[in-house]
């Protein structure tokens, strides 16, 4: 005896013999009643309408028709052999063809009988034909099919054995008759009421066989919510536990230095978004709980000054701050940027990278240990074993996508008192929805506003043939005192080729601009040479910067107004957006020119069009997500985003938001789920955990 109806082996379902059961096992991993019920349709087809043969037009996606089979015959020989049938209604005739599995179809097709057929019409000359249509014999007992019809994944092996989509639907119907009353609720009653959700049983039933589009939506909405709610409960519970139990944080409440800086030295008014984020961070810093916060802000939104302000919060509380950047160029830039502010208020600051001299390095190490040095900026060199702080209070990590979790953890060890607060800054706007799911362990702050007076960057797409015109435009801009970047792609597998590309490009630019000083920076140069070239450009001594993507992140030269991207079709959307963010940082109108060949792939075209259409980083990130799917976006693998059954993370952000808020509130009110109305949640969590283990055992 099975304890639970849903654990009943699938072969015990009426209509499933040993052969079908074995196919369901091997082809779809369906072993039990429960598994079958969870094999939801991937879409529904509208079967409310019957077309007539004479109405069919070429562009129709799928049509449903009713008529008779008047003739059938085999055509062709050997591999090309096919079964052809004539289907007829009052208005005309069309052909049905089968290239595979003829014999079982041939046997079942009855001449003269009436069928409802469903399929995609194709035109051949004046006639239409439908290959491999779904067929249903119309008999005296058969009820008219109507409404939305479920479409299930099946396989080529399953179809000849009566397990095409329609066959699976039939099994689902049989199963649901008995199962419906046994489906238990998995959400607390009060949540159903509060959000107007339908019950679990109805949701499952309608997800398979909706009455109409509204009930389908109600069903999916509830199932999505449930899926996300349980995911968020897990993610958030982990986070809350970490914060309260393991990681007490240093309390940074005194901020006189920061107040002085604010009143006397702030170079501009902060935007409202910057102010809000500073408040959020200050809230964390004085809370006594270690901060783990992701600071998202589009390129140019002013994350650096926010970081500096947060660093100042440590300093009056006997703590030090560090900022870590992914490249030397960037670390150096940050250092110069921050030093300008730090000097105004007499705060000590230093730079530490792989190319720091041993002597400098000894002094830095010493002063970090005795606490004389307050702010340190650097690359990975900062997390080496040798570097010790007197008391590291805050670590700012810029452009998080280059740093792994292990490196974050290494930093946590660098302090004697408590774990340092962590602020991770990124300009790669992981869509907000995704950030919420992926970085369950980080709080998220967003600077969603650019400083006033910024003019949107004008982006244009040009082909190779227009390059001289583009050069002409660069000349005009330089004549007006501006500077320009010309960027080439560098892709690992063709590194040599790309290098040649870059050098050829550099030469042709030198020829086109004989009187203009030009810089070049690429990955094969020594760090100090790169830095020297970069500084020449920063100071305005050179007017054009020819570079590979080393300048992708962070570089800040407000006088640059032109970004030319060669072979733009080779770049991903996130990268293109990052590169474009290098211009438009001052008050002048800036331009981004994307150069590509004439021929573009569909995706390549979509990327360039997206860039031309919008400057909004979040829109771009969403487009990127749609193009690549969440699987490619870093961090999503571990998060379980990929195992979502109902939710499309790029579309269902509202449900996600609701699920997250609901889970958060619930955890605050009843962290251990002790209230009686929450026992249902504990049961469901236990069930989900147990199901995971059984699934594993099946794979062996
Ligand atoms: P990102 O967020 O891309 O790191 P930065 O911090 O480099 O952006 O800032 C971009 C530019 O905008 C810098 O030149 C910076 O000085 C300037 N900036 C930042 N905040 C403001 C503001 N509130 N008002 C005016 N300019 C600002
Ligand atoms: Mg930056």
Looking from the CA of residue 268, the nearest atom of ligand 1 is 24
* pLDDT beyond 60 at 417: yes
Whether 59 is covered by a domain: the verdict is yes
Across 184-188, 214-218, 369-373, 494-498, least confident range: 494-498
Ligand minimally distant from the alpha carbon of residue 398:
2
Q: Are residues 508 and 399 in the same domain?
A: no
**Quick one: what percent of the chain has pLDDT higher than 70?**
87
Q: Could you tell me the pLDDT band of residue 431, with boundaries at 50, 70 and 90? A: low
Consecutive H or E run containing 504? helix 495-512
pLDDT of residue 481: 96
Q: Are residues 408 and 482 in the same domain?
A: no
Looking from the CA of residue 271, the nearest atom of ligand 1 is 23
Average pLDDT over residues 255-281: 92
Ligand minimally distant from the alpha carbon of residue 302:
1
Looking from the CA of residue 301, the nearest atom of ligand 1 is 2
3-state secondary structure of 296: strand
Bridge partners (DSSP) listed for residue 351: 377
> For the segment 352-381, what is each residue's pLDDT rounded down to a tens digit?
988 888 899 999 999 999 999 999 999 878
Whether 188 is covered by a domain: the verdict is no
Looking from the CA of residue 306, the nearest atom of ligand 1 is 6
Looking from the CA of residue 307, the nearest atom of ligand 1 is 6
Domain's final residue, options 104, 120, 145 = 145
Å from CA of 503 to ligand 2 middle: 28
Q: Are residues 373 and 350 in the same domain?
A: yes
Q: Are 487 and 547 in contact (CB under 8 A)?
A: yes
Looking from the CA of residue 585, the nearest atom of ligand 1 is 11
Average pLDDT over residues 222-227: 95
Å from CA of 340 to ligand 2 middle: 15
CA nearest ligand 1 atom 4, residue: 303
Q: Is 242 exposed, middle or buried (0-12, 13-18, 19+ CB in 10 A)?
A: middle
Q: Are residues 424 and 490 in the same domain?
A: no
Alpha-carbon distance of 312 to 681, in angstroms, equals 44
Å from CA of 639 to ligand 2 middle: 27
Q: Are residues 400 and 468 in the same domain?
A: no
Across 34-38, 158-162, 605-609, 692-696, least confident range: 692-696
Ligand minimally distant from the alpha carbon of residue 300:
1
pLDDT of residue 695: 46
Looking from the CA of residue 337, the nearest atom of ligand 1 is 16
Average pLDDT over residues 605-612: 94
Q: Are residues 53 and 131 in the same domain?
A: yes
pLDDT of residue 57: 84
Whether 1 is covered by a domain: the verdict is no
Ligand minimally distant from the alpha carbon of residue 584:
1
Ligand minimally distant from the alpha carbon of residue 397:
2
Ligand minimally distant from the alpha carbon of residue 451:
1
Å from CA of 482 to ligand 1 middle: 19
Kindly report the CATH number assigned to the domain that includes residue 54: 2.40.50.140
Average pLDDT, the chain: 85
Question: Which of 323, 451, 561, 580 maximizes ligand 1 atoms within 8 Å of its Cβ, making it the mutation to test the pocket?
Answer: 451
pLDDT of residue 700: 32
Å from CA of 303 to ligand 2 middle: 6
Domain's final residue, options 412, 447, 482 = 447
* pLDDT beyond 70 at 330: yes
Q: What are phi and psi of 511, to 5 degrees?
A: -70, -40
Average pLDDT over residues 341-356: 92
> For the segment 652-668, what is each residue's pLDDT rounded down to a tens digit?
878 888 998 899 899 99
Q: Could you tell me the pLDDT band of residue 514, with boundaries at 50, 70 and 90? A: very high
Å from CA of 677 to ligand 1 middle: 50
Å from CA of 474 to ligand 1 middle: 24
Å from CA of 455 to ligand 1 middle: 14
Average pLDDT over residues 12-23: 93
Whether 15 is covered by a domain: the verdict is no
pLDDT of residue 142: 66
pLDDT of residue 2: 46
- Residue 278 has, within 13 A of its CA and on its CB side, a CA count of 22
Looking from the CA of residue 269, the nearest atom of ligand 1 is 23
Q: Is 84 exposed, middle or buried (0-12, 13-18, 19+ CB in 10 A)?
A: middle
CA nearest ligand 1 atom 16, residue: 302
Average pLDDT over residues 50-64: 84
Question: Which of 273, 304, 399 maximizes ligand 1 atoms within 8 Å of its Cβ, making it the mutation to test the pocket?
Answer: 304
Å from CA of 585 to ligand 1 middle: 7
Q: Are residues 464 and 442 in the same domain?
A: no
Q: Against a cut of 0.85, is the pTM above it? A: no
With CA atoms as reference, report the closest residue to 622 among 399, 594, 614, 449. Answer: 614
The residue with tokens 């779809």 is 28
Alpha-carbon distance of 497 to 508, in angstroms, equals 17
Higher pLDDT, 241 or 4: 4
Looking from the CA of residue 270, the nearest atom of ligand 1 is 23
Q: Are residues 289 and 366 in the same domain?
A: yes
Question: Which of 262, 275, 294, 305 maximizes ligand 1 atoms within 8 Å of its Cβ, making it the mutation to test the pocket?
Answer: 305
Higher pLDDT, 413 or 510: 510
Residue positions counted in the chain: 700
Say what angle helices 617-628 and 573-580 make with each other, to 10 degrees: 160
Å from CA of 553 to ligand 2 middle: 7
CA nearest ligand 1 atom 26, residue: 451
Q: Are residues 433 and 463 in the same domain?
A: no
According to the per-residue pLDDT averaged within each range, which of 100-104, 122-126, 186-190 is highest?
186-190
Looking from the CA of residue 299, the nearest atom of ligand 1 is 3
Whether 56 is covered by a domain: the verdict is yes
DSSP states along 32-53 = BHHHHHT---SEEEE-S--B-G
Q: Are residues 276 and 417 in the same domain?
A: yes
* pLDDT beyond 70 at 552: no
Å from CA of 9 to ligand 2 middle: 58
With CA atoms as reference, report the closest residue to 392 among 468, 323, 471, 493. Answer: 323
Å from CA of 289 to ligand 2 middle: 27
Alpha-carbon distance of 299 to 355, in angstroms, equals 28
> For the segment 110-166, what is each residue's pLDDT rounded down to a tens digit?
999 999 898 888 888 788 999 888 888 887 766 655 678 898 988 888 888 889 888
Q: Are residues 436 and 511 in the same domain?
A: no
Domain count, the chain: 3
Kindly report the CATH number assigned to the domain that includes residue 584: 3.40.50.300
Ligand minimally distant from the alpha carbon of residue 309:
1
Whether 271 is covered by a domain: the verdict is yes
Whether 251 is covered by a domain: the verdict is yes
Alpha-carbon distance of 289 to 224, in angstroms, equals 33
Average pLDDT over residues 691-700: 47
Q: Are residues 390 and 473 in the same domain?
A: no
Q: Enter the tokens of residue 435.
A: 């950030």
Å from CA of 467 to ligand 1 middle: 31
3-state secondary structure of 372: coil
CA nearest ligand 1 atom 10, residue: 300
Strands 148-151 and 43-46: antiparallel
Alpha-carbon distance of 311 to 294, in angstroms, equals 15
- Give residue ranges with CB within 6 A of ligand 1: 268-271, 274, 297, 299-305, 427, 451, 556, 558, 585
Å from CA of 193 to ligand 1 middle: 47
* pLDDT beyond 70 at 246: no
* pLDDT beyond 80 at 76: yes
DSSP 548: -
- Give me the domain span that covers residue 608: 458-615
Contacts with 107 (C-beta within 8 Å, 6 or more apart), sequence order:
none
CA nearest ligand 1 atom 12, residue: 302
CA nearest ligand 1 atom 9, residue: 302
Bridge partners (DSSP) listed for residue 691: none
Domain's final residue, options 615, 650, 674 = 615
Ligand minimally distant from the alpha carbon of residue 400:
2
Alpha-carbon distance of 654 to 298, in angstroms, equals 22
Question: Which of 274, 276, 300 maximizes ligand 1 atoms within 8 Å of its Cβ, making it the mutation to test the pocket?
Answer: 300
* pLDDT beyond 90 at 536: yes
Å from CA of 400 to ligand 1 middle: 18
Whether 114 is covered by a domain: the verdict is yes
* pLDDT beyond 50 at 637: no
């Amino acid at each position: 005896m099975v304890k639970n109806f849903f654990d009943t082996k699938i072969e015990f379902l009426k209509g499933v013999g040993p052969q079908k059961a074995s196919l369901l096992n091997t082809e779809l991993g369906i072993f039990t009643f429960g598994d079958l019920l969870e094999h939801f349709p991937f879409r529904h087809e509208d079967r409310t309408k019957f077309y007539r043969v004479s109405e069919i037009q070429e562009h129709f996606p799928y049509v449903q028709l009713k008529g008779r089979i008047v003739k059938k015959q085999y055509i062709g020989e050997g591999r090309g052999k096919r079964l052809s049938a004539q289907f007829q209604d009052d208005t005309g005739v069309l052909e049905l063809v089968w290239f595979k599995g003829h014999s079982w179809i041939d046997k079942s097709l009855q001449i003269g009988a009436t069928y409802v057929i469903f399929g995609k019409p194709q035109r051949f000359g004046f006639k239409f034909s439908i290959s491999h249509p779904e067929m249903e014999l119309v008999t005296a007992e058969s009820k008219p099919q109507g409404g939305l019809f479920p479409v299930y994944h099946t396989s080529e092996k399953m179809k000849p054995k009566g397990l095409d989509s329609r066959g699976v639907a039939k099994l689902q119907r049989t199963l649901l008759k008995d199962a419906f009353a046994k489906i238990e609720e998995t959400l607390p009653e009060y949540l159903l009421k509060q959000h107007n959700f339908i019950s679990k049983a109805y949701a499952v039933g309608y997800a398979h066989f909706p009455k109409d589009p509204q009930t389908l939506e109600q069903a999916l909405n509830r199932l999505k919510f449930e899926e996300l709610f349980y995911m968020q409960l897990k993610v958030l519970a982990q986070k809350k536990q970490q914060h309260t139990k393991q990681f007490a944080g240093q309390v940074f409440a005194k901020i006189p230095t920061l107040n002085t800086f604010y009143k006397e030295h702030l170079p501009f008014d902060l935007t409202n978004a910057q102010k809000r984020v500073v408040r959020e961070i200050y809230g964390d810093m004085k809370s006594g709980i270690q901060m783990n916060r992701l600071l998202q802000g589009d390129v140019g939104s002013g994350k650096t000054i926010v970081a500096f302000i947060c660093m100042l919060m440590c300093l009056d509380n006997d703590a030090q701050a560090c900022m870590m950047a992914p490249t030397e160029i960037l670390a150096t830039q940050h250092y110069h940027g921050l030093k300008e502010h730090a000097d105004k208020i007499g705060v000590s600051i230093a730079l530490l990278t792989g190319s720091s001299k041993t002597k400098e390095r000894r002094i830095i190490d010493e002063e970090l240990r005795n606490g004389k040095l307050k702010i340190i900026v650097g690359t990975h060199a900062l997390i080496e074993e040798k570097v010790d702080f007197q008391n590291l209070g805050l670590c700012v990590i810029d452009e998080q996508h280059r740093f792994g979790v292990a490196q974050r953890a290494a930093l946590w060890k660098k302090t004697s008192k408590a774990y340092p607060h962590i602020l991770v800054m990124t300009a790669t706007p992981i869509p907000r929805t995704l950030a919420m799911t992926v970085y369950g362990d980080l709080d998220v702050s967003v600077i969603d506003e650019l400083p006033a007076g910024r003019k949107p960057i004008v982006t244009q797409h040009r082909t190779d043939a227009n390059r001289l015109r583009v050069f002409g435009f660069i000349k005009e801009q330089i004549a007006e005192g501006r500077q320009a970047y010309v960027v080439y792609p560098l892709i690992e597998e063709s590194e040599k080729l790309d290098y040649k590309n870059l050098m050829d490009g550099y030469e042709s630019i030198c020829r086109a601009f004989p009187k203009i000083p030009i810089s070049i920076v690429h990955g094969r140069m020594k760090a100090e040479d790169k830095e020297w070239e970069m500084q020449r450009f920063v100071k305005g001594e050179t007017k054009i910067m020819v570079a590979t993507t080393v300048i992708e992140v962070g570089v800040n030269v407000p006088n640059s107004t032109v970004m030319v991207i060669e072979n733009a079709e080779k770049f991903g959307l996130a990268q293109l957006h990052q590169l474009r963010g290098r211009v438009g940082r001052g008050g002048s109108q800036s331009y981004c020119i994307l150069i590509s060949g004439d021929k573009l792939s569909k995706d390549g075209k979509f990327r360039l069009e997206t860039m031309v259409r919008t400057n909004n980083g979040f829109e771009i990130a969403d487009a990127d997500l749609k193009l690549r799917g969440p699987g490619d976006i870093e961090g999503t693998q571990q998060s379980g985003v990929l195992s979502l059954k109902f939710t499309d993370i790029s579309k269902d952000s509202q449900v996600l938001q609701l699920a997250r808020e609901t889970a958060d509130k619930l955890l605050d009110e009843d962290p251990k789920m002790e209230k009686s109305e929450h026992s249902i949640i504990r049961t469901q969590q236990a069930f989900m955990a147990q199901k995971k283990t059984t699934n594993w055992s099946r794979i062996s």
